[in-house]
Amino acid sequence: LAAMLDNHIQQGNALGIDTKRITWKRCVDMNDRQLRNVVDGLGGRMQGVPREDGFDITVASEVMAIFCLSASITDLKERLGRMVVAYTYDGKPVTAHDLKAEGAMAALLKDALKPNLVQTLEGTPAFIHGGPFANIAHGCNSIMATRMAMRLGDYAVTEAGFGADLGAEKFLDIKCRENGIWPNAVVIVATVRALKLHGGVPKNMLGEENLEAVEKGLPNLLQHIGNIKDVYRLPCVVAINAFPTDTEAELELVQDKCRELGVNAALSEVWAKGSEGGKALAEEIVRLCEEESEPSYAYDTDASIEDKLNAIAKKIYHADGVTLAPAAKK
């Protein structure tokens, strides 16, 4: 796409693309700060048009987000065509479709669109497919991999990047709603060490028992639970990812506080014991999956952008609301 964009400009720029308002960047699968902002197209008339450019990490590209939201090759092609890559001198958006690039892009991605089947150390099948960043995209694997897992297994477990605020919100409000799926239950992963960190304990002291710090850090976890239960109306379980330094008193405190909200907290020692260390968690998930759940979202799709932002800020992050700058409103 980047090559076709620059070639269009080189060959006469029929669309009138303003080279100072190109939003599309090249990609490299490496975090190289020197390439974030560059000047390219140097070397003379036949070597391109000199302009400011830059590189994104591959997973930060809009293509990755589209790739993971596409339900078919046709859907992928249509979504790619709608991407805005630049603006004209008149301020009009230029899309990949305007450059007639979506067909070639879809052809390059046709094999990549097939989910990758792998297996765990114990032989459990798993799909690894896609991975857009959650802070700038939706942070979930591909819908095609998720749907395939749902068809092939009795239970399908998928991860939403980041916490149960950012990750769950985008997973439920975007990925699930966009594709007509809805989970039976939610697993919120927590650690005693993280709760102590939230409670103000320095990293070098997280291995020491500190019930007071756990107590101070718990409101963060409890709010995540509240979001899942109150906003999305989903049953959930807290998976306590156990560390050898966790004490019985600390674990019991977390479990007791979760029970007060009507949520069980199960110890997970999968990292050390394999499947044996996750049986209690798995049994609780199976139990929760028997409960009925209906889709419930943080905002309505027909609401304005400002109303959607306000809904997310208030319901998920419990802020007073959002204030848009004049440039954002424009």
pLDDT (mean) for 88-115:
97
How many Cβ atoms are within 10 Å of 30's Cβ, its own excluded?
9
pLDDT score for 310: 97
Least confident interval from 13-27, 40-54, 98-112, 237-251: 40-54
Q: 36-46 pLDDT, tens per residue? A: 999 999 998 88
pLDDT score for 330: 84
pLDDT confidence band for 134 (50 / 70 / 90): confident
CA distance 254 to 214: 8
pLDDT score for 163: 86
Please give the mean pLDDT across all residues of the chain. 95
Taken as a whole, the chain contains a residue count of 330
In the structure encoding, which two tokens stand for residue 66, read together?
């589209």
Q: 139-171 pLDDT, tens per residue? A: 999 999 999 999 999 999 999 988 889 999 999
pLDDT score for 113: 95
pLDDT confidence band for 292 (50 / 70 / 90): confident
pLDDT score for 44: 87
Does the pLDDT of residue 103 top 90, yes or no? yes
pLDDT (mean) for 284-305:
95
pLDDT confidence band for 329 (50 / 70 / 90): confident
Dihedral of the alpha carbons of 289, 294, 297, 302, in degrees to the nearest 10: 150
pLDDT confidence band for 47 (50 / 70 / 90): confident
Q: 171-220 pLDDT, tens per residue? A: 999 999 999 999 999 999 999 999 999 999 999 999 999 999 999 999 99
In the structure encoding, which two tokens stand for residue 128, read together?
């690894």
Show Cβ contacts of residue 108 under 8 Å, excluding neighbours closer than 6 positions.
none
Query: Residue 75 belongs to what H/E stretch?
Result: helix 73-81
Buried b (16+ CB within 10 A) or exposed e, 237-257: bbbbbbbeebeeebbebbbeb
Domains of the chain: 2-109 (3.30.1510.10), 182-298 (3.40.50.300)
Does the pLDDT of residue 257 top 90, yes or no? yes
